[in-house]
């Protein structure tokens, strides 16, 4: 199948690019590679699959926080099941590798046919859950072939995605492989209906559930309180360079003097931190 061959080739090119970035000293790329070394033997040693498993996958930290209410509800409802949490990105894994709500936390091995087969052979999940927009061809195909219930939670779809293009048949097939798709809004539901998919319903955005839960987990942050003092505080979380550019322009032009800014970037490598310090020259400090 030509589309599958192109997909596989693209993954190998991506992996080669990560290797080159690691050789160039990029910390994130090095962690991406190191975290996936000897994953089969490590998972077997950890005894994954010896008890019933619910596998939950998130791309990164933001997706994890979005799916966290679902994970915690499953933990409460099915205490006899182990929870395996996987991440694609180091920015998720490195922050949540010690998360106590899951029994095991791993990087997701690269989506090759052999990796998907070996991973599911070891884990033998009773249920697989993907958060928001993770569509890995070989994993979803293998789960479907083995009749393992598979859900997408907090899905959101846009007309410009590959599923809705004339050449997107392979990826439309992946959506049909899913047992059910829980979407955030009516627009996403209608897009799926438009390509003949009925295995979907609106469940809303689980980020709101997470924010509600956080209200009950309030923690005092003395450093932030001291920093803010009596001034108003603007907090920007999980920012990307485009966000930071807008904030930097606003900061230079703002007329208010009673405002302070706390910025928590999505990526925290040295180069990115330096670029932020340049945008906020003379007033950037690391905590």
Please give the structure tokens belonging to residue 59: 């791309």
pTM: 0.77
Q: What is the CA radius of gyration of the chain?
A: 21
- Reported as a single tens digit per residue, the pLDDT across 211-264 is 555 555 666 778 888 888 888 888 888 788 899 889 888 888 876 678 888 888
Question: 159 and 191 in contact (C-beta within 8 Å)?
Answer: yes
Q: Looking up tokens 């003395």, which residue turns up?
A: 222
- Reported as a single tens digit per residue, the pLDDT across 120-158 is 999 999 999 999 988 999 999 999 999 999 999 999 999
Q: Per-residue confidence at 87, pLDDT binned at 50, 70, 90?
A: very high
pLDDT at 127: 97
Give the residue with greater pLDDT, 54 vs 252. Answer: 54
Of the CA atoms within 13 Å of residue 200, those in its CB half-sphere come to: 28
Look at residue 18 and tell me whether its pLDDT is greater than 90: yes
Question: 109 and 168 in contact (C-beta within 8 Å)?
Answer: no
Q: Which helix (H) or strand (E) holds 239?
A: strand 232-239
Rounded to whole angstroms, the Cα distance separating 64 from 216 reads: 19
Rounded to whole angstroms, the Cα distance separating 267 from 269 reads: 6
**What would the mean pLDDT of 7-15 be, rounded to a whole number?**
94
Q: Would you state the torsion angle of the CA atoms of residues 196, 197, 201, 203, taken in this order, to the nearest 10 degrees?
A: -120
Rounded to whole angstroms, the Cα distance separating 44 from 121 reads: 10
At the topology level of CATH, where does 35-213 sit?
Answer: Rossmann fold (3.40.50)
So where are the chain's domains? Answer: 35-213, 220-279
């Amino acid at each position: 199948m030509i589309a599958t061959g192109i997909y596989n080739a693209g993954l190998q090119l991506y992996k080669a690019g990560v290797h080159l970035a690691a050789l160039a000293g990029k910390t994130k790329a090095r962690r991406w590679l190191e975290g996936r070394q000897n994953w089969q033997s490590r998972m077997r040693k950890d005894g994954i699959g010896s008890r019933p498993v619910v596998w939950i996958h998130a791309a990164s930290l933001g997706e994890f926080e979005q799916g966290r209410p679902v994970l915690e509800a499953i933990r409460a409802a099915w205490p006899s099941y182990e929870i395996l949490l996987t991440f694609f990105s180091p920015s998720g894994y490195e922050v949540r590798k010690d998360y106590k709500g899951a029994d095991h936390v791993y990087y997701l091995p690269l989506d090759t046919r052999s990796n998907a087969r070996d991973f599911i052979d070891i884990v033998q999940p009773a249920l697989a859950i993907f958060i928001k927009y993770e569509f890995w061809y070989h994993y979803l195909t293998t789960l479907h072939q083995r009749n393992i219930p598979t859900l997408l939670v907090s899905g959101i779809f846009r007309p410009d995605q590959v599923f809705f293009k004339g050449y997107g048949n392979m990826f439309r097939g992946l959506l049909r492989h899913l047992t059910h798709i829980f979407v955030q809004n009516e627009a996403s539901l209608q897009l799926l209906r438009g390509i003949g998919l009925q295995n979907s319903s609106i469940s809303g955005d689980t980020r709101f559930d997470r924010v509600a839960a956080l209200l009950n987990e309030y923690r005092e942050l003395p450093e932030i309180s001291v920093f803010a003092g009596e001034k108003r505080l603007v907090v920007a979380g999980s920012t990307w360079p485009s966000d930071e550019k807008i904030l930097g322009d606003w900061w230079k032009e703002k007329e208010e003097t009673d405002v302070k800014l706390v910025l928590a970037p999505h990526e925290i490598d040295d180069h990115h931190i330096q670029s932020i310090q340049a945008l906020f020259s003379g007033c950037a400090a690391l905590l």
